Chain A
Amino acid sequence: MVRKSRFRNFAIGSPMLWIAIFVVVPYIIVVLFSFLTRDPEGIVRWEFTLANYREIISPVFLRVCKNSFILALGTTAITLLTAYPFAYILTRIDENIRRFLLLLMIIPFWTSSLIRTYALIILLKANGILNTLLLSLGLIDEPLSILYTETAVFIGLVYTLLPFMILPLYASLQKLDRSFIEAARDLGATSRHVFFHIVLPLTLPGIIAGSTMVFLPALGLFYIPDLLGGARSMLIGNFIKNQFLTTGHWPLGSAACVILTLLMFMLLLWYFISTRKAHSGGMETVR
């Protein structure tokens, strides 16, 4: 018993310690910095101020925020709309094909996401693979300028985050009991009715989980807009990165961090409440 509880303490304690040292402590520093004054010579001066937050609520930052939200929402919408049918079909097909397709989805994770984003540059640039293909097929007359536009950032985000939408959707569709669909058909529902009255509401937890897992990273991923969007597309993630690494304005970057975290926290809270609601709605199996 003693050994067992010691193992349990270790198993739970060591990750907790890790999180405390490398997540909580830095985060306390960030919150602290966001209330301090910038020091052009060093990093911060120990003078309390709200100036950073005043500066953050500027038209420039709000535009960055708006852009980020639109892009993150768009990414979430596109990944949801493409992942849902894919995940649905995945639950219906032959076991072997399904395993193969799931493997194909996992393989990209064996390579760094950064390297895969560089690969997208090769694909999207003016004389890249996509343009060469479209030109040779005669679909376009001159190369499309996709790279270094919002479209490229969009493509990059959707590509990178799609698996995070597919996997939770697949899990919740897999759990969906076939007999619910048959019962609905039996009671006179058309395919459309079955989808909107049965399948969609019963997979809502998966939709919420997938959307959260795509939306939140889409707000914060800075290297994709950096590499694919060039200087033109500025998102929250890039804004924060720039304050720390380019302009050296740590307190302002910290304030932006705190704002972003609060937004994410509110979204997670919403996720938590809405799944709780879905659960009390009886997501447990009927038997």
Chain B
Amino acid sequence: MEKAPIVRLRGVTKRFDDVVAVDSLNLDIFQGEFLTLLGPSGCGKTTVLRLIAGFESLDQGEIIMNGTSLGGTPPNKRNVNTVFQSYALFPHMTIFDNIAFGLRMKQLDRSLIRKEVGEALSIVKLSGMEERKPHQLSGGQQQRVAMARAIVNKPQVLLLDEPLSALDYRLRQEMELELKRIHRKLNITFVFVTHDQEEAISMSDRIAVMNQGRIEQIGTPTQIYEEPENMFVARFVGEINIFEGRITEIFNGSATVDIHGRPFRVHNRKNFSCGQHVKVLLRPEDILVTRDEDAKPASPSLGGAIDEVIYKGKTVDLIISLDAGETIFATQFFNEDQEDVVFRQGQRIHVEWPYGWEVVL
């Protein structure tokens, strides 16, 4: 992202009565990117969107678009459009009139409006629905109309407020792909708000994880998932196992962490010092599980027993009770070479992980 930001939020603060919804937030949004604001409900992500759209006024800070402060610019004068969570399709208008609304406000030529609406409908694959009323469409179709109504105005930034949350699982996955396709096709900047981490990871160029009105971490989906910068991000995005440990030795670029009396070799990216208490984080799919009846691992490992085996088709999920008392979660992929390796409940096992796959905080 070498480009100049199209929207910049500088020290943006918004309070509702005494509750701080957005807390001196800084954020740069770049031309053409798909940025997701991810966080639990009440983290301020929707408020950020509404501030950019102009539905809420700032208490502090400023929002700069194309180099000029948006200050008191009302929503109808901003070059952004919103796809609402409830779609907010005008119930008394046909699909055509809904989509044409923004163009009519700009007082465009009638034939041009007809052409643009037709194009928008074909992008969302709803051609032929012009004369229907919103209540005659399914939820997924209404969603597409809401998209068409926004993109027909060719905004610089498209704001999407949990647009998929009202759809069922299969439709949601279908729409995720559709959204990505539309994003690529139009080259409009998308700012997408969701509490669904899977949605965020599969669609975004960048994710900003929000909590209590602040951004906890911003980065690519890979960075967010593989290298969480703090415990909030680690816990919120995906499943994670947490081991308490203490640094016992420091090497050049690596360190030894003592976990339940076993010395584990880890990367030392954050310049830990000797004796420091740390948390070692591991994704379930990064954990290696070895049955005691097979060869015992040579490197340090933790002993335990299998509590539960959950067959998932592609993978098998294991819930493991470690001898030290913790319960951890491990996902194992089926190994074509060792089809006879079967995990059973109650079986004794050892867990370890490849050097460097851990995150130490």
Contacts and interface: CB of A to CB of B under 8 A. Distances in A.
A264 interface: no
Given A183-B90, A282-B91, 15 more contacts: A182-B53, A182-B88, A183-B88, A183-B89, A185-B55, A185-B75, A186-B55, A186-B82, A187-B76, A187-B81, A187-B153, A188-B153, A281-B91, A281-B92, A286-B134
Contacts of A187: 76, 81, 101-102, 105, 149, 153
A278 B135 CA distance: 13
Interface string B61-97: 0000000000000111100111010111111100000
B75 A282 contact: no
B133 interface: yes
Interface in B274-322: none
B140 interface: no
B135 A282 contact: yes
Interface string A274-287: 00001001111111
Contacts of B84: 179, 182-183
Interface string A179-195: 11011111111100100
Interface in A183-217: 183-190, 193, 197-198, 201-202
Closest 9 CB pairs of A and B: A187-B102, A188-B105, A282-B91, A179-B88, A183-B88, A185-B75, A282-B135, A282-B133, A188-B76
B153 A202 contact: no
B135 A284 contact: yes
A37 B22 CA distance: 81
Given A187-B101, A190-B76, A281-B92, A286 B86 contact: yes
Given A184-B101, A185-B74, A286 B142 contact: yes
A281 B101 contact: no
A177 interface: yes
Nearest to B87: A286
B166 interface: yes
A283 B101 contact: no
Give the bracket for the number of chain B residues in contact with chain A: 20 to 34
Nearest to B89: A286
A282 B97 CA distance: 14
13 contacts: A177-B88, A180-B88, A183-B88, A183-B149, A184-B101, A188-B77, A188-B105, A189-B105, A284-B135, A286-B87, A287-B86, A287-B139, A287-B166
Given A189-B105, A283-B91, A183 B82 contact: yes
Nearest to A281: B92
Contact of B53 (A180, A186, A188): A186
Counting chain A CB atoms within 10 Å of each CB, which of B55, B91, B149, B166 scores highest?
A: B91
Interface in A232-287: 278, 281-287
B105 A193 contact: yes
B3 interface: no
A213 to B, nearest CB: 23
Interface residues of A, number: 25
Contacts of A185: 54-55, 74-76
Given A281-B91, A282-B91, A283-B91, A186 B133 contact: no
Nearest to B161: A179
B106 interface: yes
A261 B262 CA distance: 95
A46 B286 CA distance: 102
Interface in B94-113: 101-102, 105-106
Contacts of A189: 76, 101, 105
Interface string A99-121: 00000000000000000000000
Contact of A286 (B53, B54, B55, B91): B91
Interface in A143-202: 177, 179-180, 182-190, 193, 197-198, 201-202
Contact of A177 (B80, B86, B153, B166): B86
A89 to B, nearest CB: 19
A201 B77 CA distance: 24
A177 B86 CA distance: 10
A274 to B, nearest CB: 13
Interface in B153-185: 153, 166
Contact of B92 (A188, A193, A202, A287): A202
Contacts of A183: 82, 84, 88-90, 149
A201 to B, nearest CB: 5
A284 B166 contact: no
Contacts of B55: 182, 185-186
Contacts of B53: 182, 186
Counting chain B CB atoms within 10 Å of each CB, which of A182, A186, A283 scores highest?
A: A186
A268 B87 CA distance: 35
B102 A188 contact: yes
Contacts of B54: 185
Counting chain A CB atoms within 10 Å of each CB, which of B92, B106, B139 scores highest?
A: B92
B91 A182 contact: no
Contact of A282 (B92, B102, B150): B92
B241 to A, nearest CB: 39
Nearest to A285: B91
A177 B76 CA distance: 18
A189 B54 CA distance: 13
Nearest to A278: B92
Contacts of B81: 186-187
A179 B135 CA distance: 16
